[in-house]
Amino acid sequence: MLRRRIALAAAVLAMLAVPAHAGDPVPVGAVEILSGPNAAYGIAIKAGLDLALEAVNAKGVLGGRPLSLTVEDSGGTKDGAINAVRKLIGRDKVAAIIGPTLSNEMFAAGPVANGRGVPIIGTSTTAKGITDIGPFVFRTSLPEADVIPVTLKKAIARGVKTIALLYANDDAFSKSGFDSMKAAAEAAGLSIVAIDSFGSKDTDFSAQLTKIKSLKPDAVAISALVEPVSGVLLQARQLGFGKETLFIGGNGSNSPKLGQIAGAAADGLIVGSPWFVAKPDKLNTAFVAAFRAKYGKDPDQFAAQAYDTLLILAEAIDRAGDADPTKIRDALLKTDHTGPLGPFRFTDHRDPASTEGVVVLEMRGGAFGIAQ
């Protein structure tokens, strides 16, 4: 009887020595736009996340546990993003969240995650003030304020001295991008000859473009999402804007959808990007090859940023030692990652620490290439 009790006690101690859920998946979530007019961004991001999930789960985290990824569709609305974050935290008990896709959504949903103490990481949120939301809010996307000056430097090298600014006045991303464009243009000594705006759902830009055309600026910079930017370019060409006017985009223009919608009207537009598909280092070429093998097409910037972000999160979970959101948050601050985007660290304020990888791209024949 005594031997049985000793054996039973030893068995109980052995069970206590092993985590009860050693093999259970670590739940993480994502909130992306998978339907509606801005779905191109979210679909690209989800593709990057799914590819990264395969790479992470080939070895697992925390000694071999898989990640489980639940992706919620926000529909591109603030309420959709808020509800998605609440579901992921309340229903799925996620340890961290990637997304939402747009800055508008993050300003709405970020406070929910921050208030619940769950890390939330934007991969495409570039507006000013994102990480001011709170200590659990991160982003791997470079703010527009860091990228636009690089783009304008390229424009100035091409002889641009005067510029007109156009922006969508009804979303935080576009307004913040405009603010960055204006500040960067002033800092660079450019003469701003016109500032005008439109609604992101507008389809007629003729009044604004006619006014701008009469002023003959060297360049027109547009801060908006890809669909209205495409509309502006199409109408500008119809109104007679030629190659003598350089069009400049913000991060919203940095999507293959620009060429798909605007076609030849988009030729010549330049935009800054933290990544380019033809970047020659080994990690990027391996990522591009894996993406092509899985999806039969090239990744874009948003897919690349999402891919790297899930790898960054997985590494943070390993450093944290368990799936506790607060420990993951602290571990994210110690990020020292190298991936397709290059070396990556967070600042103390949870923004990307370096802008050295920014390149300027130019649309030609429906695709982006390095601007000369």
Does 14 have pLDDT greater than 60?
no
Band (354; pLDDT cuts 50, 70, 90):
confident
Q: Rounded to whole angstroms, how far apart are CA atoms 302 and 251?
A: 10
Other Cβ atoms less than 10 A from the Cβ of 237: the count is 18
Whether 145-273+359-370 and 26-142+280-340 are alike in CATH topology: the answer is: yes
The residue that leads in pLDDT, 120 or 23, is: 120
**Which CATH architecture does the domain made up of 26-142+280-340 adopt?**
3-Layer(aba) Sandwich (3.40)
pLDDT in tens, 322-346: 999 999 999 999 999 999 999 999 9
pLDDT in tens, 234-282: 999 999 999 999 999 999 999 999 999 999 999 999 999 989 999 899 9
pLDDT in tens, 187-243: 999 999 999 999 999 999 999 999 999 999 999 999 999 999 999 999 999 999 999
Does 7 have pLDDT greater than 70?
no
Q: What is the pLDDT of residue 20?
A: 36
pLDDT in tens, 78-98: 999 999 999 999 999 999 999
pLDDT in tens, 29-75: 999 999 999 999 999 999 999 999 999 999 999 999 999 999 999 99
Does 133 have pLDDT greater than 90?
yes
Does 13 have pLDDT greater than 50?
no
Q: What is the pLDDT of residue 19?
A: 39
Domain 145-273+359-370, CATH homologous superfamily name and number: Response regulator (3.40.50.2300)
One-letter amino acid at 306 equals: A
Domain boundaries, the chain: 26-142+280-340, 145-273+359-370
Does 17 have pLDDT greater than 90?
no
Strand partners, 29: 70, 97
pLDDT in tens, 92-117: 999 999 999 999 999 999 999 999 99
Q: What is the pLDDT of residue 3?
A: 43
pTM across the whole model: 0.88
Q: What is the pLDDT of residue 325?
A: 98
